[in-house]
Amino acid sequence: MEPIVKYDDVHKSFGDTHVLKGINLDIYPSEKIAIIGPSGSGKTTIIRLLMTLEEPTDGDIIVAGENLWKMEVGGKKKRANEKHLRSVRKDIGMVFQHFNLFPHKTILDNCVMPLVKVKKYKKKEAEEEARRMLDRVGLGDKYDAYPANLSGGQKQRVAMARALVMKPKIMLFDEVTSALDPELVGEVLEVIRDLAEHDEMAMVLVTHEMDFALEIADRVLFLDDGVIAESGTAEEVINQSENPRLQDFLKRFRNSSS
Amino acid sequence: MNSQYWSWETFLEAFPIILEGLKITLGLTVVSYLLAMLAGFIWLVLEATPWRPFNLIIYWVREFIRSTPPIVQIFFLYFAWPMVPYVGMSFTPFVAAMLALGIHFSTYISEVYRSGIDSVEKGQREASTALNLSTKDRWLNVILPQALPPTIPMLGNYLIILFKEVPLAATIGVVGILSIARSYGAQTWSYIEPLTIVALLFLLLSYPSALLINKLEGKMNRRFDKKQKKVGVSE
């Protein structure tokens, strides 16, 4: 099977800080990947590059056969323009740590607007689709509420519904429970678990919810100092790896969470 | 009050005459302000062009206009502009005043727009990218609806300030309330009443507007809470 996303020796620097130092990664359709690792190891940057929120300093990211950040003009490779980026990123969706809902729109409109504007749905079809998705994340009674009167967990579920209505082939989750009160984390993880079990799309989770990540992921990546230091099933990475940095990270994680 | 200095008769006689000039004063305020709102937007677009030397020129031109007194600009456009080679042309007093005040205030208003746009969180743009909105839809559906409402009180303040600068146009012969009051005084040797009327008219128009703006400001600060009340919160 062909990978849907391919990172080829991808580097990213912010000023003098070399955050990613050569990422090579294939993501296959419907694969569920969890990225774990210490703070500042570049986990979030990996998925932000794919969402085109940051531009790689070097290397290529191929999405469904298309080079994301470079386009060919007259046989020459050039930096991608907005038109090229739009055509390639249409299959990618993302859920953010801080939700980023549109505060001036009801939660139904948060989901309807992108469907109408980007996918050119008729308003009525868009509303039906948005309602179906909001029902799925358990917010069927809140269509006309504004984000300001929802709890953090509800906001994050709306954000997931908004990303899901666009039917992405790859969904990125950027520490989606980190900004939530502890008692609200469960309801959000429940939705992700449901997606992981029943949905065909590929999912990449950057997370600190270690047990959850290990439970749902087909493959776990341990990112350390800007490179993928370990990669394998949860079982392989947790129990069989000899990597001392990983052992240290896991030990510190267990201590802090117990 | 000593009737030698103040005459209600003069006051009542002058009032309707001066009121005639209000059309011009308010008209000049409105067209200058519309020009300022439009030109304020154009500054932002010019500044956003990716060619750096051009940005710098635009920046300094705008700084220059902002740092020069409006009356100098009015005089320049009315008296000096017709003598400028190639582009020079003469304006009527009304048009010269409109251009000078409109362009002067556009430099402030572009700053107001800028502050509104900067107040929209970075995450809103990132969500727009993640949803693959076009540049146009991102501006029309995400950024501007959030950027503009908070600027309404500031825009209102500049409207009042502009209104109070409009009498400067009297210096080149625009016949607003100040000009009429002055000629009334010159003809009758009564200055106190007509100029008091001018001051009162400004007070009557500015003060309620300022109150309205204060109210709007409060409303803007509470705007997302209000919606919350309307839909009702369970819990």
Which ranges of B148-191 would DSSP assign to H, the alpha helix? 152-165, 177-188
**How far apart are the C-alpha atoms of A144 and A157, rounded to whole Å?**
15
Would you kindly state where each structural domain of chain A is located, as residue ranges? 101-167
**How far apart are the C-alpha atoms of A248 and A30, rounded to whole Å?**
31
Per residue of chain B (235 residues), give pLDDT as tens: 445 788 899 999 999 999 999 999 999 999 999 999 999 999 998 988 888 899 899 999 999 999 999 999 999 999 999 999 999 899 999 999 999 999 999 999 999 999 999 999 999 999 999 999 999 999 999 999 999 888 989 999 999 999 999 999 999 989 999 999 999 999 999 999 999 999 999 999 999 998 998 888 888 776 665 454 444 444 3
CB contact under 8 A, B228 and A146: yes
Phi, psi of B120 (to 5 degrees): -80, 125
- The size of the A-B interface in CB pairs under 8 A is 72
**What confidence tens digit (pLDDT) does each residue in B197-223 have?**
999 999 999 999 989 988 888 887 766
**How far apart are the C-alpha atoms of A78 and A98, rounded to whole Å?**
33
**What confidence tens digit (pLDDT) does each residue in A33-67 have?**
999 998 888 999 999 999 999 999 999 999 999 99
Residue from A65, A69, A93 nearest A169 by CA:
A93
Measured between beta carbons, the chain B residues lying within 8 angstroms of A93 are 130-131
Q: What is the ipTM of this complex?
A: 0.93
CB contact under 8 A, B130 and A96: yes
Picking from B120, B122, B131, B221 by the largest number of A CB atoms within 10 A of its own CB, the best residue to mutate is: B131
Strands A219-224 and A32-36 come out as parallel
In total, chain A counts a number of residues equal to: 258
Nearest-CB residue to B129 (from A51, A117, A166): A51
**Secondary structure (3-state) at A145:** coil
CB contact under 8 A, B225 and A148: yes
Nearest-CB residue to B127 (from A86, A100, A117): A100
Residue from B201, B179, B194 nearest B14 by CA:
B194
Give chain B's domains with CATH numbers: 8-226 (1.10.3720.10)
Q: How many Cβ atoms from other residues are within 10 Å of residue A158's Cβ?
A: 25
Beta bridge partners of A170: A92, A202
Q: How far is B219 from chain A (nearest CA, A)?
A: 14
